[in-house]
């Protein structure tokens, strides 16, 4: 009985000390999706692929040891349905996954995480993309088809081990428009996929 009272007291103490680290309006600006869009991409070789955004969700998380400190961190996530890159029989099969998210961490840093996966491409990035580093970078202007974007940030993939680079689906860099989201991604051998409007 004493142990039960102790755990009840501890849980009450943790909940009463909970601090919520919220995303700011500036943070939200990096998430241009409503969560119901259909993103159609066409490759420089004439192929096409589609990513279906399913929903947008705001959650509270306890990353790492923060459960014991009572700190909760706000996360905005976009879920998607995308074609499977490893379908053994070469059929078209769709999987559900995270497409992108913005989250705060225990140091109050805000990060953008992009989980691009399609039938032909995977964006491998071991560390999150800190918004502080993007604020220090000057955006570039990029024209895709008839659309001109002047708020584009180029984000390189990471593969410190060298293991992923040799895969045929390896994405070398993505182009993220602050107002439109993912507008292009590049693969090896000068092949790229661009958003169709």
90 in any annotated domain:
yes
Helix, strand or coil, per DSSP, at residue 22: coil
User: With 60 as the cut, is the pLDDT of residue 191 above it?
Assistant: yes
Q: What is the pLDDT of residues 93-120, one digit of tens each?
A: 788 889 999 888 777 889 999 999 888 8
User: With 50 as the cut, is the pLDDT of residue 53 above it?
Assistant: yes
Task: Provide the domain limits for residue 29.
Answer: 18-196
160 in any annotated domain:
yes
pLDDT of residue 77: 92
pLDDT of residue 59: 76
| Cα distance between the two ends of the chain | 64
10 in any annotated domain:
no
Q: pLDDT band for 22, please (50, 70, 90 cuts).
A: confident
106 in any annotated domain:
yes
Q: How many folded domains does the chain comprise?
A: 1
Q: pLDDT band for 86, please (50, 70, 90 cuts).
A: low
12 in any annotated domain:
no
The DSSP line for the chain is -HHHHHHHHHHHHHHHT-EEEPPPHHHHTT----S--EEEEEETTS-EEEEEEEEEEEEEE--TTHHHHTEEEEEEEEEEEEE-TT-TT----EEEEEEEEEEE-TTS-EEEEE--B-SS-B---SS-EEHHHHHTS--EEEEETTEEEEEEEEEE---TTSTTTTSTTBEEEEEEETTTEEEEEEESTT-EEEEE-
6 in any annotated domain:
no
pLDDT of residue 78: 94
Residue that wins the pLDDT comparison between 172 and 6: 172
46 in any annotated domain:
yes
- Using DSSP, how many helices (H) and how many strands (E) does the chain show? 4, 12
If you average pLDDT over residues 138-166, what whole number do you get?
Answer: 91
Give Cβ neighbours of residue 179 (< 8 Å, ≥ 6 apart): 32, 149, 151
User: With 80 as the cut, is the pLDDT of residue 68 above it?
Assistant: no
User: With 90 as the cut, is the pLDDT of residue 176 above it?
Assistant: yes
The whole model's pTM is what? Answer: 0.82
1 in any annotated domain:
no
If you average pLDDT over residues 5-25, what whole number do you get?
Answer: 59
Residue that wins the pLDDT comparison between 52 and 163: 52
């Amino acid at each position: 009985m004493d142990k039960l009272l102790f755990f009840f007291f501890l849980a009450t103490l943790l909940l009463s000390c909970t601090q919520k680290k919220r995303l700011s309006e500036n943070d939200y600006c990096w998430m241009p999706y409503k969560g119901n869009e259909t993103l159609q991409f066409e490759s420089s070789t004439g192929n096409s692929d589609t990513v279906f955004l399913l929903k947008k969700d705001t959650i509270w998380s306890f990353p790492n040891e923060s459960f014991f400190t009572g700190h909760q961190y706000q996360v905005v996530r976009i879920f998607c349905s995308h074609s499977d890159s490893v379908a053994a029989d070469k059929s078209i099969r769709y999987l559900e996954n995270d497409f992108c998210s913005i989250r705060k961490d225990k140091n109050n840093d805000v990060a953008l995480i992009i989980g691009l996966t399609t039938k032909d491409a995977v964006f491998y990035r071991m560390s999150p993309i800190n918004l502080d580093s993007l604020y220090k970078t000057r955006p570039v202007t990029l024209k895709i088809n008839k659309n001109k974007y002047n708020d584009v940030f180029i984000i390189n993939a990471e593969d410190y081990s060298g293991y992923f680079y040799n895969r045929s689906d390896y994405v070398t860099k993505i182009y993220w428009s602050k107002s439109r989201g993912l507008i292009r991604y590049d693969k090896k051998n000068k092949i790229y996929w661009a958003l169709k409007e």
